[in-house]
Structure 1
Amino acid sequence: MTRTSARLERRVRRDFGAAADDLVRLLQDAPYAERVQAASVIGAGGDAERVRQALRLADLDWRDVLMNTQATAVDLATSGWEARLDLALGEGAPVQLWRPVGPEELGLVEESGWREWPPRPADQPRLITVLRREDAHALGQQGSGPDPGTGWVTRCEVEAGFMSRYAVTQVGGRRIRGYRIPAVDLAELNANLVGRIQRVEAVRG
């Protein structure tokens, strides 16, 4: 099971009372990033059935759930949504990570239901992630990812409290920054994923 973010769970428990436990479980099993989960919760106005309806709509097209918040005080569909979401939920936004992967690693991620990063090979004692999509794409093109050639850029969100133990560092060239997460911490990293790992785009070296 993945998780929803700690700050969104606090909002659910504040807004939904006795229904909160069921909704938290529902959100934990949802594949969506915090932004979409939050749109489902905030747009429901304390009505648990409206959260369920929003998540069913997200299964068809998650962008429609965001559009339902447009022109509201917590508009999550248009630029600047990050600041509005921070105001609605408070500090502790999940950390967004990007990673270029080859076909073998992507296959293992898919086998997990997009819920886990697979164990590291012996010659790769750390999971390397970067802070920007374009950097992951560039690393994939350069063959600096785990499998040179055709690959994919992936994205995930990780609970802020877990990521706070690691420092941002240089991971490729002078300007590419990200995290080097030790293989021994991988199970804990997977337990702190918010939503699921997403395949974003193909990359050809």
Structure 2
Amino acid sequence: MKLYRPVGTAELKLIEQSGYKAFPPRLPEQPIFYPVLNEKYAREIAERWNVKDTSDHKGYVTEFEVDDDYCSKFQVQTVGRSYHQELWVPADELENFNRHIIGTIKVITEFSGDDTDIKEM
């Protein structure tokens, strides 16, 4: 299954440290890891939230593949509009989730606080 994850710079650095093979553990106040099912939704989050909520005003969209059979254990959650779809992975399942990533995590888009600065990777 192809999934997307909007991230800020700090999370992207941790992904880079893993060799683009894993997402970092969740913080104690983050009980769910939520990859999203489509690029449109991931871009919205990166541009609207990550850019505003990070000190460097940057947001990134990552794309990655996860084993279909493994993903089937998580119910798709629709959290707004019909395309606002996520998988809710419990934080204590993230290490196992990372083991089911096929290949590497790729950065496909970068947003900055300047709306004119969008980089397609």
TM class by shorter chain equals 0.7 to 0.9
What's 2:99 paired with? Answer: 191
Question: Which residues of structure 2 form unaligned runs of 5+?
Answer: 114-121
Q: Is the 8 A contact 1:154 1:198 kept in 2?
A: yes
Equivalents in 2 of 1:203, 1:137: separation in Å?
9
Question: Aligned partner of 1:100: which letter?
Answer: P
Instruction: Give SS of 1:188's match.
Output: helix
Q: Which has the higher helix share?
A: 1
The Cα RMSD (Å) is 1.8
| 2:81 pairs with 1:174 | yes
Percent identity of paired positions between Structure 1 and Structure 2? 34
Aligned length: 110
Q: Is the 8 A contact 1:168 1:178 kept in 2?
A: yes
Instruction: Give SS of 1:129's match.
Output: coil
What's 2:44 paired with? Answer: 138
Equivalents in 1 of 2:86, 2:7: separation in Å?
15
Equivalents in 1 of 2:111, 2:26: separation in Å?
21
Matches within 5 A, 1:148-167: 148=54, 149-167=57-75
Task: Provide closer, same or farther for how the CA distance between residues 145 and 177 of structure 1 changes in structure 2, counting only shifts above 3 A.
Answer: farther
TM-score by structure 2 length? 0.83
Q: Which has the higher strand share?
A: 2
Instruction: Give SS of 1:142's match.
Output: helix
Instruction: Give SS of 1:202's match.
Output: strand
Larger RCO: 1 or 2 (CA < 8 Å, sep 6+): 2
Question: Aligned partner of 2:38: which letter?
Answer: R
Q: Is the 8 A contact 2:50 2:59 kept in 1?
A: no
| 2:9 pairs with 1:111 | no
Matches within 5 A, 1:1-205: 95-143=1-49, 147-148=53-54, 149-171=57-79, 173-175=80-82, 176-205=84-113
Q: Is the 8 A contact 1:98 1:136 kept in 2?
A: yes
Quote the offset at 1:174 in angstroms: 2.3
Question: Aligned partner of 1:180: which letter?
Answer: W
Quote the offset at 1:145 in angstroms: 8.1
Question: Which residues of structure 1 form unaligned runs of 5+?
Answer: 1-94
